[in-house]
Structure 1
């Protein structure tokens, strides 16, 4: 069975999508439509902006979404998923790809999400840190024992868990994690404490937009970050998508469940190869490749 997976924030690079824009009329049409919906020329930043321009949350999230979704659309009949999943932001790309959201609504929600997250970051500063070579249970226990807000945020692969929370609490937790045997516990260059309780204001803001948007029945199951299991019900998908902003990304668990349910081939649709690397570490026996255009 074929699983298609969609990357999240961090996969962006200057020049992303330019080859699609120049070589496929359908892609050009969708990029121009996106510029109109967003109210600014995101293509200028994607194709020839600076890294700093592209790192702005209001640009990064729609840019990765556009690259992923447009790529899936111009794959045409070659895009035949039996199941889909997306890492954090990538869940929105996955929902357009499996027919739950249309292109326009998906882009509007991603733009709303980016703006809401940026506001939440400014309201209550926070950060994230990557913890390497320590069992998940040990990381979770230390997070609970550390004063302040600090939680497990991204279960990326065995031996790689990202924590999120208040700056002081993250710094404290990093020292405790290193003392407990972590190979590394390093603060990441991110704008806020994503997938933590500090994102509650963003969750509330996004919830109203999601509730007001039409979600169709998916063409194939989506393995959502919050549950790590196959979801086919539109209302349940909505609930999980709202909860995603403050809940951890269960990527390791999602990939394992997809393989358990029959996935033998994983195709990453979008910029970069981050998810392929994670899949190879989670389930070394399955094939993981990049999406290709004929």
Structure 2
């Protein structure tokens, strides 16, 4: 079974949209996105543009949908789709729950709400080597000691946790985590405190916006962010997308569920390979391919071979 996984903010690199390739479906997707947004989307991946949460999130959606469509044109439509954070929007397009144009406009609204709520001074840190329970204890301790609360934003793997908060809180927490035995504590290229209660008001506003966005029941498997479970109705997917900015992303649960549902080959949409590395580390018997590491003319044949081997 083929599963597509779509990365979230932090995976972006300068020029990532320019490196997608020349497949007809990719070019069509770029043209469609430019028409919907009334902007040349190839301006969204410059070094300056990537300082904007809005540009980054729209660019990630475009990259995910472009590669999904190109692979589908080569006979590689996924049976399961999941995305981390804003990557969930590409997953929802992939499974047919929302049209690409509607997803673009909703992502733009999402990013604008997040950026307006926290234009500066906030972000995320990745902590490796501590469990969620250990992170929570350290966060509670820091809040008591310094009134500088951080929040668990992503559980990417049992010992790969992302926390959200203010710059000062994150810097202090990184030191605290390393002193407690973490292998790494690194700030991410994200300038908003994603997936915590600091974005509750923004999530409420996006929920109001989403009421008028047309959704359909997924035509293939969609795995949600909040619960890390398969979702089957239009309402459930709408709610997952509209509210995921305020809730912890249960990515490891989502990954585990996909494997339990029969996924054998995982393909990560561009850019980056963070999600691919998680699959390889946590489930080494699974095949995982980062699309950004292969030219497209080699990508599709490689996936076909992996599927044949898995069968």
TM-score, normalization by structure 1: 0.90
- Indicate the residue corresponding to 2:39 in structure 1: 40
Of residues 99, 114, 123 in structure 2, which corresponds to 1:117?
Answer: 114
- Indicate the residue corresponding to 2:131 in structure 1: 135
1:99 maps onto 2:77 in alignment: no
Report how far residue 287 of structure 1 moved.
0.6
1:268 maps onto 2:264 in alignment: no
- Indicate the residue corresponding to 2:252 in structure 1: 252
- Indicate the residue corresponding to 2:167 in structure 1: 167
1:85 maps onto 2:77 in alignment: no
Give the gaps of 5 or more residues in structure 1.
Answer: none
Whether the 8 Å CA contact 1:158–1:281 is kept in 2: the answer is no
Whether the 8 Å CA contact 1:9–1:61 is kept in 2: the answer is yes
Deviation by residue 1:212-236 (Cα, 9 ceiling, x = unmatched):
1111110122111101111111111
In structure 2, the CA distance between the partners of 1:9 and 1:190, relative to structure 1 (3 Å rule), is: closer
Whether the 8 Å CA contact 2:217–2:234 is kept in 1: the answer is yes
In structure 2, the CA distance between the partners of 1:209 and 1:15, relative to structure 1 (3 Å rule), is: same
TM-score, normalization by structure 2: 0.85
Tell me the SS of whatever aligns to 1:194.
coil
- Indicate the residue corresponding to 2:158 in structure 1: 158
How many Å separate the matches in 2 of 1:19 and 1:183? 32
- Indicate the residue corresponding to 2:282 in structure 1: 282
Give the gaps of 5 or more residues in structure 2.
Answer: 292-298, 302-311
How many Å separate the matches in 1 of 2:256 and 2:63? 26
How many Å separate the matches in 1 of 2:42 and 2:98? 22
- Report how many aligned residue pairs link the two structures: 289
In structure 2, the CA distance between the partners of 1:242 and 1:149, relative to structure 1 (3 Å rule), is: farther
Counterpart mapping for 1:58-69 below 5 A: 58-69=54-65
Whether the 8 Å CA contact 2:204–2:243 is kept in 1: the answer is no
- Indicate the residue corresponding to 2:222 in structure 1: 222
Which segment drifts farther, 75-84 or 155-164? 75-84
Whether the 8 Å CA contact 1:116–1:201 is kept in 2: the answer is no
Whether the 8 Å CA contact 2:43–2:49 is kept in 1: the answer is no
Counterpart mapping for 1:19-34 below 5 A: 20=20, 23-34=22-33
How many Å separate the matches in 2 of 1:80 and 1:131? 34
In structure 2, the CA distance between the partners of 1:187 and 1:10, relative to structure 1 (3 Å rule), is: closer
How many Å separate the matches in 2 of 1:290 and 1:162? 21
RMSD over aligned CA atoms reads 2.0
Whether the 8 Å CA contact 2:10–2:188 is kept in 1: the answer is no
